[in-house]
A and B are shown apart, each in its own frame.
Chain A
């Protein structure tokens, strides 16, 4: 609270970033410990969580010819909302700017909103909330432990790997020394473990990090563990090792390999920077393995004869961060031409990256569905790209993960428990900006693309994905705080904060997809088509809060409401029928029954809701502006000539048209 110097400023203007008429709302700005609140003259409230603020900027304003830098804050949020306030007094302006600068960056976990958020639940309710998603049950559902896979207690005290969960599933024939040996050979100790088990195919998705450099050329225990994974699949003799990193970074290196007869060479550290060395050394190992697999290696080819190596090119977190940055620069431009938009979309490369992640997941799913092969996935550390590929692959294979509850489980399993570094990737605390990257956002976007391609394949809708995205940054719930399970335990999140999932489940009718078909056999395993045509700009994610950019309405919500209304009416009919029956039993006078019908009908609560349902077709995002069709030309940039209309007859044009609203 010490950062807040001004708590309330009146006569503040909120500008619409896409409106050409410089339309603004005037209202009062409040600064609370957790939120920025703007209440406009229509009493509409805009709440912005401090944690959502990614960037506060001062804007250079041009007023009557002279340019001056004022501290009118332009706020960019992590949920892609951009707001621009104009504060009348420069002093207030300065205070608010500085306060926001402080409030949006927290130095320690304990200052995050989740530690003060109190939804008025008692301890047992809170605990039940945390128990809602139990991973032990999830592994049971998959069918492990079984004769080939067992629960290992090797990491019970986080001794082998700090960033893995305590409970890990490994092949039954892999002994503890093997596990320990392999973990020493893998970056951050992240040795190969089970991520998903496909019961029908008896094939597994496993995950790990890259092999370490600096060791002797091979690690017997690691080879052993891979063998064990392969043998744990009785249906297929070979398995895949998928490296999710792009090959082109290694191409020159590969070329030298071929030239000198595929013999490993040491590369001088002067040529390679640190990061590349790590990667190239990892690749060196793999190449060595590949050579053995191809029978051309120099030693022990029998050990690896049943492994196939596959590279899929997903770029690293830094490339992804700058790609999103470019995307936001493009779509944040006012008065963008179609050509600028598409060339910007191309230059940003964002959709290309989304496609790469999707292609990798499809490869994974096909290996299991078509070839019955187990797959081991890794990238560098095995918590970004590996999480994307494993979770998307499982989602394609298993319809359970496409339900509301199953999707929560999937995120808990492949992202939270396996140590996707949410706090660093989302920048929860004031830390290294180079660690921030939209890896999880990409995952959600891939899922969105799948929901577009399979309108009946998912129990949840777009709003569900948007809501989850909102909360990975909000720090309102404990789920996404911290970078791994160990850290979360140390923070005592389960005692001090609440879990997001029960709150989403309470609201689940908002997130249902009315077209969902749970029984369709065709949708058991999804086979998406990744031709370039299928990838579109996700307007509702990146312009969720820009009401003037249509479409603003979700067709799904309309259908959902119709569906609800149908159900309600059916119920109503039943109620009325039973009432009639009762009355008929009481008195056989038919006239009275008729009267009763007439008197009951207008008072039926269902009919009342049906009449005002149109008002409620709001997208369930808390404060997004959604109105029934009808819109305002002043919102939209049709042409510079719109100004000419007004020039000719200035008296006619008023600056505020207000948003048209359909009454029912």
Chain B
């Protein structure tokens, strides 16, 4: 397919309105295969303005007289207005943007064409495979102060080599050593989408584990699966004799029960001795999307009164979702850290709120996941869907952690914003496709650049890192009281509310902090810089 077929008009004269604080930009508007650009012409500054077409969420066009206006709503929450000369040109450009921004095909997307200077293809893709995490667990179990049976409890299984067990799992997964690949295959058949229980995080200090899966397919007949039961039994047996387990179900008890009508369900108590079910309903999908939309509407109106703003902030319920997500993650983490229990998290598909809980619990407990490299690895390991409000909810929760523990995260707000932006539209391949299987089919790893290789370039660091970071070996237990949670202004008000004059201040923080690191007694041990 040729992009040129979709481009009706390549060029037009236009003016871009950039919000209240910035002057409008005038120039020649061009539509290319992946971008919209506005070149102000030779007389002006090299102020070329560029927008990746993939980030256009919706487009509105209006014509009056011999000119037109296009309003673009972008996935990074920006709203842009372009005034274009000529009715025909306006309509053509609008149609071209519509066609190009809604292209479904992955392999025609920009990451497959993006070849920046200084980066090599294939770089950084090998940083975060499950094998690497397994090595860490092996290391930790060997050096563990806990009794011996633990040490060889887990193995790396390649049962999913050809994605036949589960298309959304990677080729290799970490499972109890006592369970063989055939049993895994049976367990996979008993779980929705084949997502059988696998290890998500090994909590070395207590020798407990965090597992995740999808719901069991018990259905109306209350089916059981011996291999699935054996798998969970093995988890407890290998953790510690007499260990307990908790299944954190991210649906309400009623919703879980109802799921049986459509073939899903929950683990029956009698079938899984030692495991206890807890229900922590978390919103996802549509309600979460609506909450997000309503929050954005509220954030788009700088004129509203204080009362209206507070009532809309309350009404959209976004911060309630933040609170629920964080407290569920804390519950899981608490179970591992204080109760010495194993935790299995799942909802229905086990691909959204499940991941939210497992990844946040790791940030709370695991100091390594709070480093730059560890956080990248966590996202690679845990997250499948990036382009959804659930991933944004995750980033928001991480931001809250960072605000409550300003020293403990190696990355700063800039990193979270970058992840948000790249998750919707990116020149890098990391967030393409929705599963490992698709990524393999599209050869994403060999034909596009990894986001991490882009972000880990030295020039990006000042923007992404937290200058105040000091490694903190402890668990960080956030406060989930509403007084402690705050709206993430840096994201939600990024485009509507002119930035507070804090950039200079931030630069000063950097100065003071870097001064200290070069002059201070010990440079912090940086386990974060991945060595290629």
A residues in contact (CB < 8 Å) with B: 18, 331, 336-343, 345-346, 349, 351-352, 355, 453-456, 514-515, 517, 520, 522, 529, 531-537, 539, 542-543, 548-551, 553, 555, 558-559, 562-563, 565-566, 569-570, 573, 607, 610-611, 614, 628-633, 635-639, 641-642, 644-645, 648-649, 652-653, 657, 660, 662
List chain B residues, Cβ under 8 A from A566.
Answer: 512, 515-516, 519
Q: Is B478 interfacial (CB-CB < 8 Å)?
A: yes
User: Which stretch of B106-114, B251-259, B300-308 is in the interface?
Assistant: B300-308
- Given A522-B501, A529-B498; A559-B476 close (CB under 8 Å): no
B residues in contact (CB < 8 Å) with A: 244, 246, 276, 278, 280, 299, 302-311, 313-314, 317, 319-320, 322-323, 327-328, 330-331, 333-335, 337-341, 403-408, 468, 470, 472-487, 489, 493, 497-498, 500-502, 504-505, 508-509, 512-513, 515-516, 519-521
Closest to B276 in A: A648
List chain A residues, Cβ under 8 A from B476.
Answer: 629-631
**A298 CA / B529 CA spacing, docked (Å):** 80
**When the two chains form their complex, are residues A515 and B508 in contact, meaning their CB atoms are under 8 A apart?**
yes
**When the two chains form their complex, are residues B406 and A551 in contact, meaning their CB atoms are under 8 A apart?**
yes
**When the two chains form their complex, are residues A629 and B515 in contact, meaning their CB atoms are under 8 A apart?**
no
- Given A455-B505, A536-B486, A638-B331; A352-B307 close (CB under 8 Å): yes
**A352 CA / B304 CA spacing, docked (Å):** 12
**A338 CA / B315 CA spacing, docked (Å):** 10
Given contacts A352-B305, A520-B504, A662-B472, 18 further A-B contacts (CB under 8 A): A337-B323, A338-B314, A338-B323, A338-B485, A342-B314, A342-B482, A456-B505, A456-B508, A532-B310, A533-B489, A548-B479, A548-B481, A555-B468, A562-B513, A562-B515, A570-B519, A629-B472, A653-B339
**When the two chains form their complex, are residues B310 and A653 in contact, meaning their CB atoms are under 8 A apart?**
no
List chain A residues, Cβ under 8 A from B322.
Answer: 338
A346, A515, A563: which contacts B505 (Cβ < 8 A)?
Answer: A515
Nearest Cβ on chain A to B200's Cβ, whole angstroms: 19
**A343 CA / B500 CA spacing, docked (Å):** 26
- In the complex, 18 of the A-B residue pairs with CB atoms within 8 angstroms, ordered by the A residue number, are A337-B482, A338-B319, A340-B482, A342-B314, A456-B508, A529-B498, A533-B299, A533-B487, A536-B486, A550-B478, A611-B521, A614-B470, A633-B333, A633-B338, A635-B479, A638-B331, A639-B280, A662-B473
**When the two chains form their complex, are residues B302 and A531 in contact, meaning their CB atoms are under 8 A apart?**
yes
B331, B489, B520: which contacts A569 (Cβ < 8 A)?
Answer: B520
**When the two chains form their complex, are residues B497 and A533 in contact, meaning their CB atoms are under 8 A apart?**
yes
**When the two chains form their complex, are residues A610 and B521 in contact, meaning their CB atoms are under 8 A apart?**
yes
- Given A338-B320, A339-B314; A629-B306 close (CB under 8 Å): no
Nearest Cβ on chain B to A542's Cβ, whole angstroms: 8
**A549 CA / B482 CA spacing, docked (Å):** 9
Nearest Cβ on chain A to B117's Cβ, whole angstroms: 36
**When the two chains form their complex, are residues A339 and B330 in contact, meaning their CB atoms are under 8 A apart?**
no
**When the two chains form their complex, are residues A341 and B483 in contact, meaning their CB atoms are under 8 A apart?**
yes
**A532 CA / B520 CA spacing, docked (Å):** 42
List chain B residues, Cβ under 8 A from A336.
Answer: 481-483
List chain A residues, Cβ under 8 A from B500.
Answer: 453, 455, 529
**When the two chains form their complex, are residues B327 and A638 in contact, meaning their CB atoms are under 8 A apart?**
yes
List chain A residues, Cβ under 8 A from B331.
Answer: 638-639, 641-642
A562, A638, A660: which contacts B512 (Cβ < 8 A)?
Answer: A562
**When the two chains form their complex, are residues B306 and A351 in contact, meaning their CB atoms are under 8 A apart?**
yes
List chain B residues, Cβ under 8 A from A522.
Answer: 501
**When the two chains form their complex, are residues B306 and A532 in contact, meaning their CB atoms are under 8 A apart?**
yes
Nearest Cβ on chain A to B512's Cβ, whole angstroms: 5
**When the two chains form their complex, are residues A630 and B475 in contact, meaning their CB atoms are under 8 A apart?**
yes
Nearest Cβ on chain A to B254's Cβ, whole angstroms: 17
**A246 CA / B233 CA spacing, docked (Å):** 70
**A471 CA / B267 CA spacing, docked (Å):** 60
**A636 CA / B310 CA spacing, docked (Å):** 25
List chain B residues, Cβ under 8 A from A355.
Answer: 306
Nearest Cβ on chain A to B454's Cβ, whole angstroms: 28
List chain B residues, Cβ under 8 A from A553.
Answer: 405-407
List chain B residues, Cβ under 8 A from A565.
Answer: 516, 520
- Given A339-B314, A533-B497, A637-B481; A550-B515 close (CB under 8 Å): no
**When the two chains form their complex, are residues B306 and A352 in contact, meaning their CB atoms are under 8 A apart?**
yes
**When the two chains form their complex, are residues A550 and B484 in contact, meaning their CB atoms are under 8 A apart?**
yes
**A331 CA / B309 CA spacing, docked (Å):** 19
List chain B residues, Cβ under 8 A from A630.
Answer: 472, 474-476
List chain B residues, Cβ under 8 A from A331.
Answer: 483
List chain B residues, Cβ under 8 A from A610.
Answer: 520-521
Nearest Cβ on chain A to B468's Cβ, whole angstroms: 6
Most B C-beta atoms less than 10 A away, residue of A341, A349, A662: A341
Nearest Cβ on chain B to A563's Cβ, whole angstroms: 5
- Given A629-B472, A638-B330; A549-B314 close (CB under 8 Å): no
Nearest Cβ on chain A to B455's Cβ, whole angstroms: 24
**When the two chains form their complex, are residues B478 and A653 in contact, meaning their CB atoms are under 8 A apart?**
no
Nearest Cβ on chain A to B355's Cβ, whole angstroms: 19
**When the two chains form their complex, are residues B307 and A629 in contact, meaning their CB atoms are under 8 A apart?**
no
**A563 CA / B515 CA spacing, docked (Å):** 9
A456, A539, A631: which contacts B483 (Cβ < 8 A)?
Answer: A539
List chain B residues, Cβ under 8 A from A548.
Answer: 479, 481
Most A C-beta atoms less than 10 A away, residue of B311, B408, B482, B501: B482
Nearest Cβ on chain A to B395's Cβ, whole angstroms: 18
List chain B residues, Cβ under 8 A from A543.
Answer: 483
Closest to A569 in B: B519
**A641 CA / B334 CA spacing, docked (Å):** 11
List chain B residues, Cβ under 8 A from A542.
Answer: 483
List chain B residues, Cβ under 8 A from A338.
Answer: 314, 317, 319-320, 322-323, 482, 485
**When the two chains form their complex, are residues B481 and A18 in contact, meaning their CB atoms are under 8 A apart?**
yes
Nearest Cβ on chain A to B330's Cβ, whole angstroms: 4
- Given A338-B319, A570-B519; A551-B305 close (CB under 8 Å): no
Closest to A654 in B: B338
**A534 CA / B482 CA spacing, docked (Å):** 17
List chain A residues, Cβ under 8 A from B310.
Answer: 342-343, 345-346, 351, 532
List chain A residues, Cβ under 8 A from B482.
Answer: 336-338, 340-342
Closest to A339 in B: B314
**A514 CA / B319 CA spacing, docked (Å):** 32
List chain B residues, Cβ under 8 A from A649.
Answer: 244, 339
**A635 CA / B477 CA spacing, docked (Å):** 9
**When the two chains form their complex, are residues A346 and B314 in contact, meaning their CB atoms are under 8 A apart?**
yes
Nearest Cβ on chain A to B211's Cβ, whole angstroms: 17
- Given A341-B483, A639-B328; A531-B516 close (CB under 8 Å): no
- Given A336-B482, A559-B512, A636-B477; A629-B405 close (CB under 8 Å): yes
Closest to B305 in A: A532
**When the two chains form their complex, are residues A339 and B320 in contact, meaning their CB atoms are under 8 A apart?**
yes
**When the two chains form their complex, are residues A645 and B480 in contact, meaning their CB atoms are under 8 A apart?**
no
**A566 CA / B513 CA spacing, docked (Å):** 9
**A529 CA / B499 CA spacing, docked (Å):** 11
List chain A residues, Cβ under 8 A from B335.
Answer: 645
**When the two chains form their complex, are residues B320 and A562 in contact, meaning their CB atoms are under 8 A apart?**
no
Nearest Cβ on chain B to A332's Cβ, whole angstroms: 10
- Given A566-B516, A631-B477; A533-B280 close (CB under 8 Å): no
Nearest Cβ on chain A to B484's Cβ, whole angstroms: 5
Nearest Cβ on chain A to B23's Cβ, whole angstroms: 19
Closest to B496 in A: A533
**A662 CA / B312 CA spacing, docked (Å):** 40
- Given A531-B302, A566-B515; A559-B509 close (CB under 8 Å): yes
List chain B residues, Cβ under 8 A from A346.
Answer: 306-307, 310-311, 314
- Given A338-B314, A641-B278, A645-B334; A535-B306 close (CB under 8 Å): yes
**When the two chains form their complex, are residues A637 and B516 in contact, meaning their CB atoms are under 8 A apart?**
no
Nearest Cβ on chain B to A567's Cβ, whole angstroms: 10
Closest to A514 in B: B512
List chain A residues, Cβ under 8 A from B481.
Answer: 18, 336, 548-549, 636-637
**A662 CA / B334 CA spacing, docked (Å):** 19
**A611 CA / B522 CA spacing, docked (Å):** 10
Closest to B508 in A: A515
B334, B338, B493, B520: which contacts A533 (Cβ < 8 A)?
Answer: B493
